[in-house]
Chains A and B, each alone.
Chain A
Amino acid sequence: MASIRELHQQLVRKERSAVEIATEALARVQALEPKLHSFISVTADRAIAQAQQVDAKIAAGEAIGPLAGIPIGIKDNMCTTGIRTTCGSRILENFVPPYESTVTQRLFEAGALMVGKTNMDEFAMGSSTETSAYQVTANPWDLQRVPGGSSGGSAAAVAGGQCVVSLGSDTGGSIRQPAALCGVVGLKPTYGLVSRYGLVAYASSLDQIGPFARTVEDAAILLGAIAGYDPQDSTSLQVDVPDYAAALKPDFKPRGKLRIGVIQETFGEGLDATVEAAVTKAVEVLQELGAEIQVINCPQFRYGLPTYYIIAPSEASANLARYDGVKYGYRAADPDNLLDMYAKTRAKGFGAEVKRRIMIGTYVLSAGYYDAYYLKAQKVRTLIKQDFEHAFQKVDILVCPTSPTTAFKAGEKTDDPLSMYLSDLMTIPVNLAGLPALSLPCGFDDQGLPIGLQMIGNVLREDLLLSVAHAYEQATEWHKRSPSL
């Protein structure tokens, strides 16, 4: 499938209409869904109606923005007015939001064509999209393997060419890890850069929405469209949003001005040898491009995982208290009384992983355990943040593997929660510190599975992050491969 820029030019030159683009994308969605299962809902009528509006604008001689007429997938935890938003859960199976999330509002105003709502781990809790109450999404590079998670549907849809770009959300790696496992670009912005209004809350101090794309430029265009202050989100940052895409220079050569740090703690036990080799080679490429390479120590990095699995379930146990069967969503039949209705509704509406995290959160927040777990985790969070602050005094960008392994087989880790949690080892510390980071393809293993390189930037340095990623991408060929489907 073509890039945003190519499609935009075709539209402006009237070589193709938006309706033709939408029809083609929908045909591809239809053709690949039996294999990939990327979408919980396909919104064909909506996409065609949006395309007709774009075509009417073009016919009237009005200018259109870069995202007008571009097919896009939206993770099913972002509220869309009049379109079912399930969050991958039975408890929201029939939930039709009465309001629009800020991100989709901005995309619709920009003329983007929503082809569907993508599959995800239930309430974004998972690393393989297998906890979805609806279906298991396949990795487009090997249908027996998982696409990663929790935004697995959004990653697979872009990798499989069912849409040009998509939105995911990232609480502990839920954009970057599936991007790595599916061989696409995925970016988690600085906490507060993109509004969370209308995003179904998982862990509010960590959640952030971001783009998936096949190229860095497409990711930059999509980020530019969704970023920026929103008074509806009290954690939204009042900052100017630069033109990320315009800042990408095809001949970006930092020549010693750019310092890149390799996080030493991410290399070692548990890291696949092929992943290590690909990331090491990627660092050499960055060096050849003119970057100065340093080895950086983040001694607290490895405590990120236990810290996250205290903080995120704690916030989740509070956020998910709202699913009580009263105002919306599922309600269990024939309860004895109100309390019984809550307990039965939640027992039947939530899946195992969601229950597990609600239980962890409730336990660590309960009387007598608060200081030992939650307060302790918040203090370690400070130490992890300080590691990054020290690192960014020495370097401009940090790099490490996105995931310690390539895509694993479906069913391989579902019975062992801790081993599933380990796949987010490299991405979680970034959320705890609120930093921007992206994953982009940096190689393939001997089974043809993609490998992701994670680049981490300082607060609000998405511009630099994208420029460096773009330079690397232009110097390599990885992004030109696509899965044979």
Chain B
Amino acid sequence: MLDREQVHKVAHLARLELTPAEEEQFTTQLGSILDYFEQLNELDTGDVPPTTRAIDVSNVVRVDALQPYPAREAILDGAPDRDGEFFKVPQIMGGE
């Protein structure tokens, strides 16, 4: 069973700040969704290989070559904050 502390921990792993009300709601909702998953244990899958993709294609490669990208400015312009040719972020350490 899922408890509120676990929900809090998972939210941290997912980099999601939840309100106390959201934590409360997710504890109940995720709990019932996880219960719903339990029915898969009715199936014996001991010798069954996992499927990672629906239609298998393998050895898809391309030449690892640099190409000029024409829309560099457009990409930098899309950033919430920039400093010249850099993406700008708040301070990494401290500020707690």
Contacts and interface: CB of A to CB of B under 8 A. Distances in A.
Nearest to A348: B17
A459 B91 contact: no
Interface string A444-477: 0000000000000001000000000000000000
SS of A interface (majority): helix
A362 B36 CA distance: 17
Interface string B19-43: 1001000100110111011011101
A410 to B, nearest CB: 20
Given A337-B94, A338-B89, A380-B45, A327 B54 contact: no
B37 A310 contact: yes
Contacts of B62: 231
Interface residues of B, number: 54
Contacts, number: 174
B95 to A, nearest CB: 4
B72 to A, nearest CB: 9
A325 B80 contact: yes
B45 A383 contact: yes
B13 to A, nearest CB: 5
B15 A342 contact: yes
8 contacts: A303-B40, A306-B40, A309-B33, A335-B90, A343-B17, A347-B17, A360-B33, A363-B34
A192 interface: yes
B33 A418 contact: yes
B1 interface: no
Nearest to A334: B90
A375 B15 CA distance: 24
Contacts of A434: 53-55
Contacts of B10: 359, 362-363, 366
Given A336-B95, A359-B26, A418-B36, A328 B78 contact: yes
Interface in A337-352: 337-344, 346-347, 350, 352
B14 interface: yes
Given A358-B16, A417-B33, A418-B32, A303 B39 contact: yes
A239 to B, nearest CB: 10
B65 interface: no
Given A303-B39, A379-B51, 13 more contacts: A310-B40, A328-B78, A337-B93, A340-B90, A346-B14, A346-B15, A355-B26, A359-B10, A363-B6, A373-B37, A379-B45, A381-B51, A385-B54
Interface stretch (A4-12, A93-101, A288-296): A93-101
B49 interface: yes
A344 B80 CA distance: 14
B34 to A, nearest CB: 8
B9 to A, nearest CB: 8
Interface in A167-209: 190-192, 205-206
B78 A327 contact: yes
B52 to A, nearest CB: 6
B79 interface: yes
B74 interface: yes
A377 interface: yes
A342 B29 CA distance: 24
A-B CB proximity, top 8 nearest: A434-B54, A378-B50, A331-B80, A379-B45, A336-B95, A98-B74, A343-B17, A347-B17
Contacts of A352: 22
B25 to A, nearest CB: 8
B11 to A, nearest CB: 7
B66 interface: no
Nearest to B93: A337
Contact of A237 (B22, B45, B57, B87): B57
Contacts of A306: 36-37, 39-40
Contacts of B78: 95-96, 98, 327-328
Given A328-B79, A337-B90, A383 B48 contact: yes
B14 A362 contact: yes
Interface in A349-400: 350, 352, 355-356, 358-360, 362-364, 366, 373, 375-383, 385
A431 interface: yes
Given A338-B92, A359-B11, A382-B49, A303 B43 contact: yes
Contacts of B36: 306, 309, 418
B96 interface: yes
B14 A358 contact: yes
A3 interface: no
B22 A355 contact: yes
A418 B34 CA distance: 11
B16 A355 contact: yes
Given A190-B55, A343-B15, A234 B60 contact: yes
A440 B74 CA distance: 42
Contact of A380 (B7, B43, B52, B54): B43
